[in-house]
């Protein structure tokens, strides 16, 4: 399926602020229109038609034929872009192929990937004499309802649309599945001197031909500096994976998202952050070994925070890679080992105790077991090991990385090295032992 992106308008309110054409305004390191293209690419859309108007040259110059983004882009120019976005949308009739359905969206409306995926799943049910429109019913959560196009919905049909509608129960998200019927309606509206997309959709709504898809998830129309800030907030919040550990969710993400927000604007890559996190672990180890446990502990927690940033940047800037995932996993283990060895060294240095060797060894051998167990389970059961599902109450044991590094931080700050290593050894092996007994019922 092809996507048609409307990028013809002037976007005055942001222009004055950023001094760039609105579709090319960078949000957390990625221009708005590029983010839309890459989000759609994740949904398996590879062919794009961009309708240009005001900033034809700049947009073409920046995106080219799409090659560097791994997609195909063609352009259509609308000279009369000032008339309204209906005229821009209608421009696509020049490239329209018989019986085609296409996605139609605005360059400056951002959507969560899941929203678009769910919308596209319904696409096959739409006939050529209808259109499909993403709408949001959750009006309390919609940003700046005032500015939205309102919808009066009956069931999953739109009865009327308009910016000044008084009686409404949903708003238009600006994401369409277009058909021949939409182009016809646009043509009809234009012939009546009505130049907005909403006018054409209204014509179809009156005939009961506008089906609605009520979205669940985030979207936003980036229109002015305030909504730009809100968009940043939404995108950053969406980076927290649903299966985050307790410490990660309640502590680390508060910091890592702030770091990610700063770093997103730079060219720093996820792998570079993985390396930085590893070197922070080395520094932590050296501070422990040099008998500065306070700083050792603090750096361990920073390691843990940075461990979140690489993934956040990768997801935020479409920089995920298989190698990055493997590199991160292996370096994280090395980071853990090195910190524990630093602590063991410190203990031995102050006490010269055989116990230091044995407890350090027990902690070292416990550390990789959580990952080993989960990965082996994945290979054997061909499904992901989910602590929430498979670990029962043991999921609260701080034996995963965020929990382990938090224990190390506390141990460092309180200067309780032996106790910390003992606790690490106990929680990691206890978790493995529990899993060995418990997992049988899932296999």
Both tokens of 56, joined, read: 């034809």
Q: Are strands 131-136 and 109-111 parallel, antiparallel or unpaired?
A: unpaired
The three-state secondary structure class of 412 is helix
Pick between residue 125 and residue 376 the one whose CB is nearest to its own copies. 376
Burial (CB < 10 A; 0-12, 13-18, 19+), residue 93, is middle
Do the Cβ atoms of 180 and 96 come closer than 8 Å? Answer: yes
Decide if residue 75 touches its own copies (CB under 8 A).
no
For its own copies, the binding residue among 214, 337, 394, 416 (CB under 8 A) is: 337
Decide: residue 187, CB within 10 A, 0-12 exposed, 13-18 middle, 19+ buried. Answer: middle
354 or 393, CB closer to its own copies? Answer: 354
Beta bridge partners of 152: 160
Q: Which range, of 79-87, 92-100, 198-206, 368-376, touches its own copies by CB under 8 A? A: 368-376
Q: How far is the CB of 356 from its own copies (least distance, A)?
A: 7
Q: Which of 139, 145, 291, 381 binds its own copies (CB under 8 A)?
A: 381
Which among 300, 422, 407, 441 is positioned nearest to 364, based on CA atoms? 422
If binding is defined by CB under 8 A, does position 396 make contact with its own copies? Answer: no
Nearer to its own copies, 153 or 346 (CB): 346
Least distance in angstroms from the C-beta of 259 to its own copies: 25
- For residue 49, the cross-strand partners are 4, 74
With binding defined as CB under 8 A, does residue 226 bind its own copies? no
Do residues 13 and 20 touch, judged by C-beta distance below 8 A?
no
373 binds its own copies (CB under 8 A): yes
Rg (CA), the chain: 27
Q: Tell me the closest approach of the beta carbon of residue 372 to its own copies, in angstroms.
A: 6
What is the torsional sign of CA 23, 161, 127, 157?
Answer: positive
Among 195, 278, 377, 406, binds its own copies (CB under 8 A): 377
243 counts as binding its own copies under rule CB under 8 A? no
- List 361, 397, 413, 426, residue binding its own copies (CB under 8 A): 361
- Residue nearer to its own copies on the CB measure, 57 or 440: 440
379 scored as a contact of its own copies (CB under 8 A): yes
User: Which residue number, 132 or 287, has a Cβ lying nearer to its own copies?
Assistant: 287
Q: How many residues bind its own copies (CB under 8 A)?
A: 44
Cα angle: 276, vertex 280, 286; to 5 degrees: 145
- The answer to whether residue 364 forms part of the interface with its own copies (CB under 8 A) is yes
**Is the Cβ–Cβ distance between 8 and 53 less than 8 Å?**
yes
Query: Are 90 and 183 a contacting pair, CB within 8 Å?
Result: yes
Query: Would you count residue 368 as binding its own copies (CB under 8 A)?
Result: yes
Q: Is 88 in the site for its own copies (CB under 8 A)?
A: no
Tell me the C-alpha distance between 299 and 102, whole Å. 51
Q: How far apart are CA 263 and CA 77, in angstroms?
A: 35
The smaller minimum CB distance to its own copies, of residues 191 and 382, is found at 382
Is residue 236 within the footprint of its own copies (CB under 8 A)? no
Q: Does residue 380 touch its own copies according to CB under 8 A?
A: yes
CA distance 199 to 190: 9
Bridge partners of residue 177, in order along the sequence: 103, 132
- Binding to its own copies (CB under 8 A) within 271-330 occurs at 321-323, 325-327, 329-330
Q: Does 355 bind its own copies (CB under 8 A)?
A: no
Binding site for its own copies (CB under 8 A): 321-323, 325-327, 329-330, 333-334, 337, 340-341, 344-345, 348-349, 352, 354, 356-358, 360-362, 364-365, 368-369, 371-373, 375-381, 432, 436, 439-440, 443
């Amino acid at each position: 399926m092809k996507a048609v992106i409307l990028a013809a308008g002037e976007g005055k309110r942001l222009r004055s602020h950023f001094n760039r054409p609105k579709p090319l305004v960078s949000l957390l390191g990625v221009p708005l229109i590029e983010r839309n293209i890459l989000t759609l690419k994740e949904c398996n859309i590879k062919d794009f038609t961009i309708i240009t108007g005001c900033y034809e040259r700049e947009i073409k110059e920046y995106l080219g034929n799409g090659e560097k983004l791994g997609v195909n882009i063609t352009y259509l120019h609308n000279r009369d872009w000032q008339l309204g976005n209906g005229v821009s949308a209608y421009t696509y009739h020049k490239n329209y192929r018989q019986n085609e359905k296409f996605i139609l969206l605005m360059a400056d409306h951002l959507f969560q990937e899941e929203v678009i995926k769910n919308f596209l799943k319904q696409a096959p049910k739409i006939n050529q004499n209808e259109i499909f429109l993403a709408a949001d019913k959750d009006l309390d959560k919609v940003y700046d309802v005032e500015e939205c196009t309102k919808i009066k919905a009956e069931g999953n049909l739109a009865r009327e649309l308009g910016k000044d509608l008084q009686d409404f129960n949903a708003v238009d998200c600006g994401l369409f599945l277009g058909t021949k019927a939409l182009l016809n309606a646009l043509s009809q509206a234009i012939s009546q001197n009505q130049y907005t997309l909403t006018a054409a959709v209204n014509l179809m709504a009156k005939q009961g031909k506008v089906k609605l898809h009520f979205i669940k998830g985030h979207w936003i129309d980036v229109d002015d500096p305030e909504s730009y800030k809100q968009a940043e907030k939404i995108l950053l919040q969406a980076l927290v994976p649903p299966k985050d550990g307790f410490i990660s969710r309640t502590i680390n993400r508060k910091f890592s998202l702030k770091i990610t927000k700063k770093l997103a604007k730079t060219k720093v890559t996820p792998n570079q952050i993985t390396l930085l996190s590893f070197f922070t672990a080395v520094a932590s180890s050296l501070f422990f070994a040099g008998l500065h446990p306070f700083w050792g502990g603090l750096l361990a927690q920073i390691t843990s925070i940075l461990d979140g940033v690489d993934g956040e940047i990768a997801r935020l800037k479409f920089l995920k890679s298989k190698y990055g995932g493997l590199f991160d996993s292996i370096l994280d283990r090395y980071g853990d080992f090195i910190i524990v060895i630093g602590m063991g060294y410190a203990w031995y240095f102050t006490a010269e105790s055989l116990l230091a060797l044995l407890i350090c060894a027990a902690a070292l051998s416990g550390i990789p077991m959580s990952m080993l167990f989960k990965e082996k389970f994945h290979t054997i059961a061909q499904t992901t090991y989910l602590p929430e599902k498979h670990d029962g109450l043991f999921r609260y044991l701080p034996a995963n990385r965020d929990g382990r590094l938090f224990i190390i931080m506390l141990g460092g700050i309180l200067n309780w090295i032996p106790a910390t290593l003992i606790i690490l050894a106990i929680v990691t092996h206890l978790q493995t032992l529990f899993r060995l007994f418990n997992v049988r019922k899932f296999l």
